[in-house]
Amino acid sequence: MRWEPKESVAIVTGASSGIGRCLCRRLLRSGASVVANARREERLLELQDSADNASADNAEQRFFPVVGDVTDPTVRQEIIRVAGSIRSGELDLLVNNAGIGALGPFADAEPSRLRRIMEVNFFAPVELTRLALDLLRRGRAPVICNLCSVLGHRAVPDKSEYCASKFAMHGFSDSLRAELAPTGIQVTLVSPSTTESEFFDSLIDTDAGQTSKSIGSWPADRVAKATMSAIRARRSEVICSLGGKALVYADRLSPPIVNAVLKKS
């Protein structure tokens, strides 16, 4: 059974920019009602103002912004409250997209960097998922979509905290998928490579001189399109970009070779 966006109810976190923003627009154009969460109120209002140009009837009336940090339990509760009020306590899609990162050697970092990244990238989406399960069980072909990263499959230097958070999300998604299989709730893991978005403008505890080398970057809307396709097909996992696939499959075939390539001189 495929997931259909028309008349569905969806939650998207990290909706103010990048992949989350593009996903919201695609969902609205397809006839979904979208509960969009982000910290930046002005960005959500811009998205709301543009919703009536989404090439779908009543798109503006189907957009429900929730402003706040997803790591705040009261914000998570408000997201669920709003979603539950749209269609008799039913939820069809939860997209855990909000995320942050950092660059730099682990040995030079303060412990707070790891804790902040884990709070945003792992603990917050896990707890939001916990709250959403009752609504999802009542949904139509429900899907939990976790935006992960190819760095949740293969870690690289100077991104230890970010990699750890994405490995945690990868493991959580695999386990939850097996647990929820009898309920009909699908867990979809989407792993982009570097995405052309504002992600690198909001790195935390990172020196200005730090740079990130990567290949295979995609525009945010291309990732959003691939994500929508994976959700519709209720796929278990999708890895985006040839560069991302090359890194993941090379590591599966010969970890020692990839270790040697990535080793810092």
Please give the backbone phi and psi of residue 182, each rounded to the nearest 5 degrees, phi first.
Answer: -65, -20
To which residue do tokens 């929820």 refer? 180
> Active-site residue among 63, 122, 162, 199?
162
Edge to edge, the sheet with strand 237-239 lists 63-67, 33-38, 9-13, 93-96, 143-147, 186-191, 237-239
Contact (Cβ atoms closer than 8 angstroms) between residue 37 and residue 79? yes
What's the DSSP call for residue 108?
G
249 is catalytic: no
Paired sense of beta strands 33-38 and 63-67, if any: parallel
Q: Which residues, at least 6 apart from 31, have a Cβ–Cβ distance to it below 8 Å?
A: 5, 6, 7, 8, 56, 57, 62
Supply the residues annotated as catalytic. 162
